[in-house]
Amino acid sequence: MDQIFAHLVDHKRIIQIDSDTLPPFPNSPLKGDSLFVNCHYDVSLAGMPKAELLEQARSDTLEICQQLATDSRLDKCVAAVVTVYGHFPVHGGSRPARRRIYRVTISSKDIRSNSVMSSSFLSDIQAEEDSELDDVADLLQHATH
């Protein structure tokens, strides 16, 4: 686990945060390395309503971005990609299935220029967002049958 995020890991909601700098993928619109940050939620959050889960993931993403604003690794990157994963029970499965609750790609420049981020930060900047929460609803429906 990265020490910069250690205070966010409470082992109740957030069980792990890790990060790594990676080169752009083939056909990526990004023209340089990106800092990928993965935040993992505990399986106990699987029962939260989708809207609350997404709101919590966006809030945690803001906290992660606030930490990234002080991270020297960002100096060498064109963007940060922050992904919040949930772990959801699967009927008959030996371990929970991981699904993306929320992912956002934010330019390093936007993170640096907005080091004091408000709750509207993600909607105010040019950021690419996506989620797999609709897949989660199907997964949970099958988990109970």
Show me where the domains of the chain are located. 3-143
Contact predicate 82/106, CB 8 Å: yes
What does the pLDDT look like over 26-74, one tens digit per residue?
888 888 999 999 999 999 888 888 889 888 998 999 899 989 998 999 9
List the strands of the sheet with 14-22, edge to edge: 14-22, 34-41, 79-88, 97-107, 128-130
What does the pLDDT look like over 125-140, one tens digit per residue?
655 666 777 766 565 5
Q: Give me the torsion for CA of 125, 130, 131, 135, rounded to 10°.
A: 160
Dihedral sign for Cα atoms in the order 55, 57, 58, 59:
positive
